[in-house]
Amino acid sequence: MQQQLDALLGKIKQDYVNWCTAGGSKPLSGYFQDSINEWDSKVQVKTGQKYIKVIRENSVWGFIVNTDNDKVFKKGDILKAAGWQAPARNAARGNIFDDDYHVNWTGPLYLK
């Protein structure tokens, strides 16, 4: 599970780098370079019995299901935040155990 969480955090950070550099067409400098350098220190992962909460600075990025006993979701499912304490339980936005999920640095993707 830790390896998949690390990969998720890497995808989130990489999306931020892509956003800062307009997909690689601009150099990374100034404020954006400082933000990348400080990125890891501003991300927290809080593990609970049901969910793992991913927090960046003062906002919740999203939640990861951390139990095999959920009636709707599988362990590893990525959920948007409904608020500070709870996820939106309408649909999973991917699963960290799959290789083909996509995320934004601002949070899990919206439903189509």
Residue type at position 33: Q
Q: Count of domains in the chain? A: 1
| CA nearest to 96, candidates 70, 71, 65 | 65
**CA angle at residue 99 from 93 to 105, to 5 degrees?**
50
Q: Which residues pair with 62 in a beta bridge?
A: 54
Q: What is the mean pLDDT of the chain?
A: 93
| pTM recorded for the entire structure | 0.90
% of residues, the chain, pLDDT over 90: 79
pLDDT digits (tens, 9 = 90+) for 39-73: 999 999 999 999 999 999 999 999 999 999 999 99
d(CA 10, CA 28): 17
Provide the domain limits for residue 7: 2-108
Instruction: Describe the strand order of the beta sheet including 59-65 as a list of residue ranges.
Output: 43-47, 51-56, 59-65, 78-79
